[in-house]
Every structure is written in structure tokens, then in C-alpha cells.
A and B are shown apart, each in its own frame.
Chain A
Amino acid sequence: MKYDLAIIDYQMGNLFGLDCALKHVKLKTIITSKKEEIMNSKAIILPGVGSFGKAMKNIKEKKLDKIIKEFHVEKKIIIGICLGMQLMFEKSSEINSNKGLALFKGSVEAINKKNKSLNIGWSENYCKSKKNEIKKLIHNKETYFIHSYAAKPLNNKIILAESTFDNINFCSVVKSNNMIGFQFHPEKSGINGLKILKLLSRKIKNNENIL
């Protein structure tokens, strides 16, 4: 493989900032929407800030949906961050109902349906158990969130961590089939986030599975 990690470029979000954090944890990255480069990477990351509908439109225009699914068939690591994580679900009720990439079963809904308020700032994450390495880095740790919508997985078993906003619990990390999605921004969560990225970096470089 030519690259450790391809940052999928669908023209949304702070790709430069994300790339800086990934380079900081020693990953050989490329920001791209080209199939050869994506398929030539050990792992991919779906970044994203903005609206679900617009993101899916950009993804389809560049035929990235098919490429990502092809990548998934090879059981290689896929990481989603914030909107990128939400896109991995089947659908979102944001603005008009939109279909997602359906890598995870479930939907994306407003955290607080009454006022659609923005959850912005640092919040703690909670894991039900802390058995593995990654949970240890997430449990009881504060990370940076900026979102109004959150994923509702069909199967609770894929929820790795939860957080709360306005006294409502929401899913902050999901994991299944060598894919992991973060509702928070590990690349903007200071030392707590960098530790998570370092672990992912090690796993990618050593060709290990996520769990």
C-alpha cells in the first residue's frame, strides 16, 4: 500500500487541520477523491462538517459512495468523524430525509428534536465496559463536539461510547466490522484526541484490526 490513510475529499470540512493531526501521529496521508489513491491506502477517513444532504450529493457526484463500499468489501479500516460518521448510517432526517452510505444500520436524528440546538464544546464520554485499549482512552474523557444531529444505531451493540447534551444521551462512538465512527473531533480534542489517533495509527501501520 502506498499510503496509510486516505482522507476522502468531498469538499466539506477542515481537511487541512485533520491532516495536520494525522501527520502528527506519524501517518502517511493523502487528501484525495481519486479511486486509485483511495484503494492504494490501508485505511480511509471520512471527515466532514456541514449538512448531510449536501455531503451525500458531493459524494455521489464523485462516485465516492461506490468506491467507499468497494473499500469496505476488502474489510479495510474505515474511520468516520462527525458528519463523516453520520454519513455511514442508512439515512438522516436533517432538512429533508436523505439516504446515507448504509455501512452502519440505523439513522441520524436531531439530538433534541424540540429546538435543534447546537451541542458545542467539550463533553465526557462513557463506555459501558472498559475492556479494550480504545475504550480506556475514551471512557470518562472529555472531547470536543460540534453538532446538532446524532446517530441512532439500530443495534445498541455497536455503540462503543455515549455522551450527554441537554440531559439527553446520544451515541458518541460506534464500532463494527473494522469501522469506527466518532461524533466528536479527535483531531481537535487536545491530548485526549491525539491518544486515540495514535492508537489508530499504530493499528493501521501494523495491519491490525480496530478491535
Chain B
Amino acid sequence: MKKKVRIIPKVDVKGINVVKGIHLEGLRALGDPMEFSKYYYNNQADEIIYHDIVASLYERNSLNNLVRNVSKNIFIPFSVGGGLRNLNDIKNVLKSGADRVFVNTAAINNPNIINEIVNNFGASTLIVSIEVNKYQDKYKCYTDFGREENSIKLFNWINEIEKRGAREILISSIDRDGTRSGFDVDLAKKITEISDLSFIIGGGFGEIRHIHELLDQSNPSGIYISSALHYNTIDKISKNITNTKGNFEFIKKNKIDKFKKITIKDIKKSIF
């Protein structure tokens, strides 16, 4: 199999920690985002996505510090999102060195912001993020990191995003998130059929065959992976957890040992 697809670690950040849960809930703190970033940069990541999942005004400063720090040390593209509400928020994140930004809640609340971002910063700077939950064979869109259900129809929304000038979307399958049960291949297939948009998809990666199943039936431009990579990375980076903020019980009790360890290198070897 030879397909051009970016392998993208997604780093969810809460305050000063990388966090990860299941179905976007029950978040566990995993460590310092810079440590994870350096490891991915040195180990063949094509790109990195940073998602500020709390994005309160106070936390925003720590995100901008992280973005500046990443810019100074990591020379691959990275995208930043989570709680970006308006053009000014976006301008600040870009000024700190983000290459691209993604928006979800702001775009659903005010779809015009898509056109505005495209006009002000260029189409390639924007990714529209969509949080999708599949329940009884129906897709529902969510905002606020899976906290709020929205009445917008998924496939109409994808078409509208394209009409408004965006070029790439980021699909997060909430029902697959953290489960390691495989990607939502049906969804990826449907998006490939109905839209010319490039799309990054994530949620559910557990083993390499999941990527093969996905690429056999659809053409995503990128695949994002969180827990499967993070739990391997923890072994490789400093485990000195100095800060006491966050739920580190999970790591301290060595519960990650039961997870299969997968690296970006393994994934690339199998698909290129």
C-alpha cells in the first residue's frame, strides 16, 4: 500500500499538561507537552496538532507560551485550536508561531468566520474541526470538546464549510476516541464521496491494521493519533512529574503497561 497521508500526533492540552481520556472524558494527565513534542519531532511526525481543551482566559497564556516554545524548537508544521473565538484570538496564536489554526465552536456559532479567516489569513491557514458522535447510526455534531450537542446536520455542514472557502477539515470521532477499536471507516468513505475537502480523521486508532482498513476505503489527507502514541512516548521521555496539577494517578500506578506500544515509524513502515 502506498498512499500519501500525514501521520499526526494530536496533543490535547489542559493548562500545562498533555491529557487524554476516553470519549473525550475522564481525562488523565500524561506530562509536559514540550517533552512529547520534541519526541514526535525527532521520531518522524509529519505535523503536530495542539488542542487546548479548556481554553479559559487564564489558560490561554500558557497555550501561547507553549506555541512560542514549540516554534523555537520544533521545525515541522503544527496547528493550534480549542476555544479560538474570533479573528483576534486567531491572530494572536498565529503571531506566536502556529502555522495553522482550527475552529469548531466558533464556526458553528458563526459560519461567516470561515470566510473571514480565509480572507484574512489564507485558506491554507484554516482547518475546520468537527466533533462527531455516532449514536444509533446517526451522526451528531458537538461543540466545546464534546460537551454540547448541536442540531447542525453533519454532511450539510461539510458542504457548507467547502462552499465558504475552507480547504481542510479535522474529523474527531467521539464514539471512537480512546477506545482503540478502529477508525470510523464508513464516515471516512462517505466524506471521500461527497466532498473535495481534504480531511484529517482521528479517534479509535489501536493497531496498524486500522490504518489499512481506513486507507483501503477512503482518502484522508491525514490521520491523527493520540493515546496509542502518547502511551508509548511516556516510556521514552522524562517521567519526573514535578507539578502536582492534574490527575497523574494513572501514570503513577503504571496502568499504561497493558497498552500495546506503537510508534510513528512502525506505522509509516507499514503504509509507505
Contacts and interface: CB of A to CB of B under 8 A. Distances in A.
Interface in A164-211: 185, 187-191, 193-194
A147 B125 CA distance: 11
Interface residues of A: mostly helix, strand, loop or mixed? mixed
A50 B121 contact: yes
Interface in A125-181: 144, 146-148
Interface residues of A, number: 29
Interface residues of B, number: 28
Contacts of B121: 49-50
B252 interface: no
Contacts of A194: 75
B135 to A, nearest CB: 31
B4 interface: yes
B71 A51 contact: no
B95 interface: yes
Interface string B67-100: 0100110011100000000000000001111110
Nearest to A185: B77
B97 A146 contact: no
B46 interface: yes
Given A49-B125, A189-B75, A20 B222 contact: no
Given A117-B196, A120-B168, A17 B122 contact: no
A118 B169 CA distance: 12
Interface of A: 12, 14, 16-17, 20-21, 24, 49-51, 115, 117-118, 120-123, 144, 146-148, 185, 187-191, 193-194
Interface string B30-56: 000000000001000010000000000
24 contacts: A12-B122, A14-B94, A14-B97, A14-B99, A16-B68, A16-B96, A17-B98, A20-B72, A20-B97, A49-B99, A49-B122, A49-B124, A50-B124, A50-B125, A51-B122, A115-B196, A117-B198, A118-B168, A120-B168, A121-B222, A144-B77, A148-B124, A188-B76, A188-B99
Contact of A24 (B6, B75, B124): B75
B263 interface: no
A190 B76 CA distance: 5
B75 A118 contact: no
B75 A146 contact: no
B122 A50 contact: yes
Contacts of A123: 4
B218 interface: no
Contacts of B95: 16
Contacts of B96: 16
Contacts of A121: 4-6, 46, 221-222
Contacts of B41: 190
